[in-house]
Amino acid sequence: MELIDGKKVAAEIKQEIAAEVEKMVAGGKRRPHLAAILVGHDGGSETYVANKVKSCAECGFTSSLIRFEDDVTEDRLLEEIYRLNNDSEVDGFIVQLPLPRHISEQKLIEAIDYRKDVDGFHPINVGRMSIGLPCFRSATPAGIMMLLERYNVPTSGANCVVLGRSNIVGKPVAALMMQKGYPGNATVTVCHRDTKNLKEVCSNADILIAAMGRPESVTADMVKDGATVIDVGTTRVPDASRKSGFRLCGDVKFDEVAPKCAFITPVPGGVGPMTIVSLMRNTLLAAQHTIYQD
């Protein structure tokens, strides 16, 4: 069994990005600039955004954190999005999700200029990704693909089972895994709460991607010997022994599943660190106008 060390790969890629940024700066260009809109004080969102800001510094980017209270109106957020769309000093920006219930996430996402949508959530980026055109790929699926590539996990012709059909992970990672090329060319099955014979379907997987957000629900009896298991779960479960009062729990029962695997990602330190790196990479590509030229 080989552990897929997302923390190490993420640190390597951040160094590669930082080197690229220094070349840009030496060539007279300004630093890539990522802005993040954060609404309210959700603990998870605060942590994610703080990590994004920290990663920007590590990559040599400029970052802006724009905060609003929970009671902000949708119109005020739309106004901020339009401002960022038109700010030539900002290469890309994100609206951290989830948002309070009175605000339509979809409406905000669709208001973002797709050329600055470094989260890859805008329907234009999602659509372009699904038909294999250059686009901003959303962070978690792109991070998973980078891990498979860096560890040379064979994917062509592999049975890939994706657990979960979210717009952020399940659907896009399924699209990428079935796409022509490497990593890709897999035969993909997407499972969800109504899937029949889940155990049987999973036991056929050469690559199992668990993204349903149900802690430790993938058990050893669901996993084939020699499979590659990618655990996208990051549920916070109460843990009195931790200073924070919680620990991150994956969707896979790691201790019993790991011995059966060819490759497996741990939680934390697997997919998590890669998602931020994908965002940094997209911001670099936005600053270099690599994907959209105008």
Judged by CB under 6 A, the residue of 4, 139, 153, 284 near ligand GUN is 139
95 scored as a contact of ligand GUN (CB under 6 A): yes
Whose CA is closest to 141, among 267, 19, 278, 4?
Answer: 278
Considering 14, 52, 224, 253, which one is annotated as catalytic? 52
Beta bridge partners of 38: 67
232 scored as a contact of ligand GUN (CB under 6 A): no
Within 13 Å, how many C-alpha atoms sit on residue 196's CB side?
0
Looking at the Cβ atoms of 139 and 160, the one nearer to ligand GUN is 139
Read off the amino acid at residue 2.
Answer: E
84 scored as a contact of ligand GUN (CB under 6 A): no
277 scored as a contact of ligand GUN (CB under 6 A): no
**Are the beta carbons of 68 and 95 closer than 8 angstroms?**
no
Minimum CB distance to ligand GUN, residue 208 (Å):
21
Range 16-23, long-range pairs (CB < 8 A, 24+ positions):
17/59, 17/60, 17/277, 17/280, 17/281, 17/284, 18/58, 18/59, 18/60, 20/284, 21/59, 21/60, 21/61, 21/284, 22/60
Judged by CB under 6 A, the residue of 34, 94, 175, 188 near ligand GUN is 94
Q: Catalytic residue at 199?
A: no
Looking at the Cβ atoms of 176 and 257, the one nearer to ligand GUN is 176
Within 13 Å, how many C-alpha atoms sit on residue 182's CB side?
10
Minimum CB distance to ligand GUN, residue 230 (Å):
16
Length of the chain counted residue by residue: 294
Minimum CB distance to ligand GUN, residue 94 (Å):
4
Looking at the Cβ atoms of 94 and 162, the one nearer to ligand GUN is 94
Binding site for ligand GUN (CB under 6 A): 94-97, 119, 139, 275
Which residues are the active-site residues?
A: 52, 96, 119
